[in-house]
């Protein structure tokens, strides 16, 4: 799995957990 795929997953989870949203912006 590429990092882009993981990034999109984290962004999706960010909808429920703002913590993952921060990771999305960091990447």
- Quick: pLDDT tens for 1-27: 688 877 777 666 656 666 655 665 665
**Residue 20, C-beta contacts closer than 8 angstroms, at least 6 positions apart:** 10, 11, 13, 14
Q: Are 7 and 24 in contact (CB under 8 A)?
A: yes
**Residue 13, C-beta contacts closer than 8 angstroms, at least 6 positions apart:** 20
Neighbours of 6 (CB within 10 A): 12
Q: Are 12 and 22 in contact (CB under 8 A)?
A: no
Confidence (pTM): 0.32
pLDDT at 5: 79
């Amino acid at each position: 799995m590429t990092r882009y795929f993981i990034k999109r997953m984290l962004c999706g989870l960010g909808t429920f957990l703002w913590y993952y949203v921060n990771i999305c912006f960091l990447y």
